[in-house]
Structure 1
Amino acid sequence: MSDRVLAPLHVPLPGGRITAEQLAALAEAVDALGDGHIEHAGRGGLRVPGVDAGRCAEFAARLAATGLGTHGDGRPVPPVVVSPLAGRIGGSQTLWSIADQLDAALTDAAAVSELSDRCWFGLDDGRGDVLAHSPDVAAVWTGSSAAELVLGGRRTAQIIVLEHLAEALLAAARDVQRHAEPPAPQTRPAPRVGWFDQDDGRVLLGAVTANGRMTARQAQFAAAIGAPLIVTADRELLIADLTEGVAETVVRVLAPLGFSFDANSPWARPDEPSARQPAPDGAR
């Protein structure tokens, strides 16, 4: 219906992870109740730019059935961003469980109400890809069973054991005040776009799309792979835990649909003007 009223909807993804089942449900809901598009929202989340305003509750119910949706008392839950390659290519798998602990605490309305509306958290595995975005409250894995606390992009030299890291980050967030001047810009990591060998011998593929946007059809094809998916703060979609044969097939199928696996693609540099390019015909 061309005259329907559309409303934007944010889909938070703790740590940036989304399962194939969840992405398939999101794509189906967007196709039926939205404008047919899904966008990278930054900080590891997704955004649906247009949902039928009269059917938002139905849309939310579809997502909730697979574990997606909003939390708390209606205020946005602060994002938790994790180094996307952690535990698969270097880093520590433990950071993901800490992200889950932190997100569980943040779903409590009282906890969220104590924090700034713009507060967000980062868990960096030491390669600097999360710190590059200057999260308000973060921790950097030290390569052992501990991490260093980072506040407002500034190292504190305060070391916290991983077992207590989630509660320490939440406590720090209650006290920290946003700096009057933002931290100095950090160097962005190289694009995580292309073919990457995981530590366990499997393959991770990194892809980007035009303007950080997917059509419902593109999302359906990505979900059909049935692999774990990670949405990064740099508008990349990582497809993990693939065999070499499956990875080759994924590239052959998704590339003509508007997914680029080329790290030199302008879409892999979303902050540059040249990244704002039309999608290829097959991605519309």
Structure 2
Amino acid sequence: MSRTYVDRCPGVLRPWIADDGALIRLRLVGGRLGASALGELSEIAGEWGDGNIYLTSRANLQLRAIPHADGCVPSALVYAISAVGLLPAPSHELVRNINVSPLTGRVGGRADLRPLADVIDNLLCADPVFASLAGRFLFSLDDGRGDVSGRTLDLGLVALDTHTAQLRVGSAHWGPTVPLNDAAAALIDLTRAFLGLRGAGETAWWHVDELPGKGSELLDAPYERDDRTLTTSEPPPFGKNVQDDGRAALHVDVPDGTLTPKLVEQLAGLGPEIIVTPWRSVIVPDLEPT
């Protein structure tokens, strides 16, 4: 691929200027955020934007119609978002793209990948070199059920059982099988190797699939795909899904992926956590059975 422009995927500190005002994107690791944070963000959207919160296909959030000057949104808005805890690593805000099976650790799946996602995020944000990744570089962590493994990705894994996973390198290649405890470090090493090959400036590659070998350059040898990765599953049905611990996870349809103030108020009163899904819906987990 030949590209002659740099990545402009939006964030808070690098908004996209649209016809209706600035658009900012807030990245959520595994789609998770507190219900109180969602409520506070809704108030921010009402004060600075058009009042709504928009869900993305990568389980992130967007605000629209924000005033701007010289390509920047007001510093007071940035401060408000930081105070809510939704800008934890300003230098790395664009690269915290980590998709995870939304119900991992709660309903089915072979392993709970929430701790792994947090470790990857911490390792990414701890090293300045990773801030140069493109804003669309994506880590995908599938807990073995096959709900997110079919999506385009840069690096990731599929859990094979409670303790092991097979790494993924781009959309075309599979890596070695590793203990889940070692998976974060292995993915970070692959990320660092990609940065060493991607080039620089306007012609730098954004994705592993853009490498001449579509990512084979990052592997020390070809690896066969483990048959246990040959799984697929549809999104969970809307309504209550029984968790493995007997509680319930409520899957809520979000029309057009738009969280209106009214819908936010309803969601925030249900439970302490919200999970944004890659299907532009939300899940409210850990509800007591009724």
User: Per the alignment, in what secondary structure is the counterpart of residue 164 of structure 1?
Assistant: helix
- Normalising by structure 1, what TM-score? 0.76
Question: 1:107 aligns to what?
Answer: 125
Length, aligned pairs only: 240
Instruction: Please point out which of 272, 275, 286 is paired with 1:227.
Output: 272
Aligned equivalent of 1:138: 156
2:29 to 14, 17, 21: 14
Q: Secondary structure at the match of 2:267?
A: helix
The answer to whether the 8 Å contact 1:10/1:48 transfers is: yes
Find the counterpart in structure 1 of residue 55 from structure 2.
40
Runs of 4+ in structure 1 off by over 4 angstroms are 180-183
Once the two structures are TM-superposed, the CA of residue 127 in structure 1 deviates from its matched residue by 1.1
Counterpart for residue 218 of structure 1: 263
Does residue 207 (structure 1) correspond to residue 252 (structure 2)? The answer is yes
Q: Deviations over 1:159-185 (max 9, x none)?
A: 1112121111111123346224989xx
In the TM superposition, what whole-angstrom CA distance separates every residue of 1:214-271 from its partner, at most 9, and x where no partner exists? 11232122112233210011111001111233xxxxxxxxxxxxxxxxxxxxxxxxxx
Q: Please say if residues 110 and 143 of structure 2, whose CA atoms lie closer than 8 Å, have aligned partners that are also in contact.
A: yes
**Distance in structure 2 (CA, Å) of the matches to 1:156 and 1:165:** 14
Structure 1: distance between partners of 2:93 and 2:84: 21
Partners of 2:285 and 2:178 in 1: how far apart?
29
Q: Which sections of structure 2, spanning at least 5 residues, go unmatched?
A: 1-19, 195-206, 216-229
Q: Partners of 2:127 and 2:91 in 1: how far apart?
A: 5
Please list the CA deviations of residues 59-90 of structure 1 after superposition, one character each: whole Å capped at 9, or x if unmatched.
22222223112634366124001111111012
1:126 aligns with one of 138, 144, 163: 144
Mapping 1:122-201, distance limit 5 Å: 122-176=140-194, 178-180=208-210, 189-192=233-236, 193-201=238-246
Deviation of the 1:91 alpha carbon: 2.3
| Root mean square deviation, CA, Å | 2.7
The amino acid across from 1:232 in the alignment is T
- Long gaps (5+) in structure 1: 246-284
Secondary structure, counterpart of 2:91 in structure 1: coil
Give the deviation of 1:194 after TM superposition: 2.3
Contact 2:24–2:63 under 8 Å retained in 1: yes
Distance 1:74 1:96 in 2: 20
